[in-house]
Amino acid sequence: MRAFTFDQVSDDTLLGELAALVARDRETTAALLAYLAEVDERALYLPAACSSMHAYCVSVLHFAEEVAFKRIRAARTARRFPVIFEAIADGRMHVTGVVMLAPHLREDNVEELLAAASHASKAEIEKLVARLAPPPDLPEQITRIPGNGHANEMLQMDPDPVHGKVDLDPVTGKVDLDPVTRKVDPDPAPDRARVTARSPLRYGLQVTIGEATRDKLLRAQALLRHRNPSGDLEVVLDRALDVLLAALEKEKLGKTSRPRAAKARSAEADPRNVPNEVRRAVSERDGEQCAFVSDEGVRCIERGFLELDHRTLVCRGGQPTVDGLRWLCSPHNQFEAERVLGKNFMREKRARRAAANPLAREETAETMARDADEPITVHVDAVAQRQGAGDHACAARPDAEPEAAVELDREVTLAMRGMGFGAGETSRAMVDSAGAPATTFEARLRAALASWRTSRGTRCSEGPFDEAAFRLTTALSSMAAPAAAVEMC
């Protein structure tokens, strides 16, 4: 261990070395943010069994929670506006200042705001932000002063509705308990909920609620008076959570006080329909925790946003059995899908889903933003085309619309290539399975895989399939499909 002793160091030398250390620290901070931004962009936290960049910073890099949030926010902002890296490296900006300015930075004002905030303290940047976006007036509030310890005297009333957000506040690092969305709220707002440790077994809970929620709480408090004469809100909350957890366990995990015997499944049963007894067994085995394990043997600790994942794809014959299922958090479920089906395929699926469903745009915004800087290159090998340039998959499936049939074959082609199938075998499988009555992605992929299994021992000339791929490229270029560069393999 290095001993920091300065008995023989002069004042001038001490000040000079301190200034040099500060300069190096600023340069190191800028480099650290650049590396964090790139790791975040590539989502390299997922293979390390972390469900988010924040979890990676806390669990692997051992940052404090609030430090992790500040650095991640600053890194993402600096990636959008690279001039910030230089401002941090030369000492004109500090990380806290970048976080405070982040919601207000745009391409047309970033230089101006950085100049205005140059070498400014946190208090000075707060004044600058207040001029940019004046904060709303404090809400009118009437709060009774606690007297004899009655629980209802601690119930504060706030007329403002609660707009949910998740994550810590980017500046203060305080917890917001409402998990509505994974995106950090860009607008600074007062803390609406936080839990503070008061003693080893006691916690203080503070939360802002709406009028309807307050009325429910007061009604529950009144109805429970015979069992809770003092009206203690802790007792009310504890009883309410017991009821809520029982309902959620039944809905999500298939738990019940009177489990039924397992029924025999028919061959035609939907493999995505998971029986409750299987849900219970998988939940008990996985412990209501993401089951993803990194190559180093580290398991993801995420317990929220869990989804049942088929270890073997449904289109490859995966069944809803205890051994065939596992709980994965949403980020690792997407990561496994990208690893099996290909990143380009999953990216396009998310983009089309967001375009078709406005509610999905918000859910996929962060993932799509991460992928936005990477060019989308679609390798189209072939599609079921037996006739001229205007004929495609719908010639064999007359019940399908022409553009829908081409798009369906395009998705299946991308999926097979993402699974590792070569260009030639994918082309043959697509052409040989063109006559299958398939109008859904799963059915079309099943048909293509079945054709591949049937003919994998044979070899065919590549010529007809290259010609089919060319015709598909021509057809796709004339369609209003998502922008993509189409290349021949």
Q: How confident is the model at residue 185 (pLDDT cuts 50, 70, 90)?
A: very low
Q: Which residue has the tokens 């002063």?
A: 145
| SS3 assignment, position 418 | helix
Q: Pick from 66, 69, 54: which is nearest to 301 by CA?
A: 54
Mean pLDDT of the chain: 75
Q: How many CB atoms lie within 10 A of CB 261?
A: 5
User: What is the model's pTM?
Assistant: 0.60
Query: The tokens of 270 are what?
Result: 């939907």
Looking at 12-16, 79-83, 138-142, which range is the least confident one?
138-142
The string of pLDDT tens digits covering residues 410-424 is: 778 777 776 767 776
**Percent of the chain as helix, strand, coil, to the nearest 5:** 50, 5, 45
User: Do 314 and 272 form a contact (C-beta atoms < 8 A)?
Assistant: yes
**Span 441-448, average pLDDT:** 78
Q: Pick from 93, 133, 94, 126: which is nearest to 111 by CA?
A: 93
The string of pLDDT tens digits covering residues 12-58 is: 999 999 999 999 999 999 999 999 999 999 999 999 999 999 999 99
Q: What is the DSSP string of 287-311?
A: TSS---B-TTSPBP---SSEEEEES
Q: Pick from 311, 457, 479: which is nearest to 410 by CA?
A: 479
What is the enclosing helix (H) or strand (E) of 204? Answer: strand 202-207
Q: Pick from 349, 334, 337: which is nearest to 410 by CA?
A: 349
Taking the CA of residue 180 as centre, how many other CA atoms within 13 Å lie in the half-sphere pointing to its CB? 10
Q: What is the DSSP string of 362-383?
A: HHHHHHHHHHTTS--EEE----
Dist CA 425 CA 467 (whole Å): 15
pLDDT reading at 371 higher than 50 = no
The string of pLDDT tens digits covering residues 105-138 is: 999 999 999 999 999 999 999 999 999 888 776 6
| SS3 assignment, position 27 | helix
Share of the chain above pLDDT 90, in %: 44
| SS3 assignment, position 187 | coil
Residue 346 has what pLDDT?
A: 85
User: Do 185 and 197 form a contact (C-beta atoms < 8 A)?
Assistant: no
The string of pLDDT tens digits covering residues 210-248 is: 999 999 999 999 999 999 999 999 999 999 999 999 999
pLDDT reading at 350 higher than 90 = no
**DSSP letter assigned to residue 185:** P
Q: How confident is the model at residue 428 (pLDDT cuts 50, 70, 90)?
A: confident
User: Do 325 and 311 form a contact (C-beta atoms < 8 A)?
Assistant: yes
Residue 196 has what pLDDT?
A: 67
Tell me which of 406 and 215 has the higher pLDDT.
215
- In terms of Cβ atoms closer than 10 Å to its own Cβ (0-12, 13-18, 19+), residue 340 is middle
Q: How confident is the model at residue 143 (pLDDT cuts 50, 70, 90)?
A: low
Q: Cβ neighbours of residue 66 under 8 Å, at least 6 residues apart?
A: 168, 172, 173
Dist CA 250 CA 166 (whole Å): 25
Per DSSP, helices labelled H in 394-462 are 402-418, 423-432, 441-455
Q: How many CB atoms lie within 10 A of CB 449?
A: 21
Q: What is the dihedral of CA 134, 135, 140, 143, to 10 degrees?
A: -150
